[in-house]
Amino acid sequence: DAGVTQSPTHLIKTRGQQVTLRCSPKSGHDTVSWYQQALGQGPQFIFQYYEEEERQRGNFPDRFSGHQFPNYSSELNVNALLLGDSALYLCASSPGQVRGETQYFGPGTRLLVL
């Protein structure tokens, strides 16, 4: 059983560019959340998708957008990249909107903005 997978593993972009990160959830999971982890910090919640809709959103600007597909996979898009967007982007999946249900994390995509 494959766990959460993310692509690409690493990415280098320049300021002002746009980037798309991809995530496939663990089999049987229908909820996908995205987190940003800056160097030396804990992950910060960006948004969560369930049933192809954004259900929750953290304190991130509109430059951050996403999408969930019918097969539950998800994309994170960031427009007009800033140097401060350099971070590890983590995708997590879970089986539905249930309290205490474990979120399983992927290995992350490390984004460097120059």
Interface with other proteins by CB under 8 A: which residues? 4, 6, 31, 33, 35, 40-45, 48, 55-56, 58, 88, 90, 92, 94, 96-108
Contacts of 108 (CB under 8 A, 6+ apart): 6, 9, 37, 88, 89, 90, 91
- Identify which of residues 61 and 96 has a Cβ nearer to other proteins in the complex: 96
Structural contact between residues 108 and 90, judged by C-beta atoms closer than 8 angstroms: yes
- Identify which of residues 109 and 113 has a Cβ nearer to other proteins in the complex: 109
Beta strands in the chain (DSSP E): 5-7, 10-13, 19-24, 31-37, 44-50, 53-57, 64-68, 74-78, 87-94, 104-105, 109-113
- Identify which of residues 55 and 63 has a Cβ nearer to other proteins in the complex: 55
- Identify which of residues 16 and 34 has a Cβ nearer to other proteins in the complex: 34
State the nearest-atom distance from the C-beta of 63 to other proteins, in Å. 19
State the nearest-atom distance from the C-beta of 15 to other proteins, in Å. 25
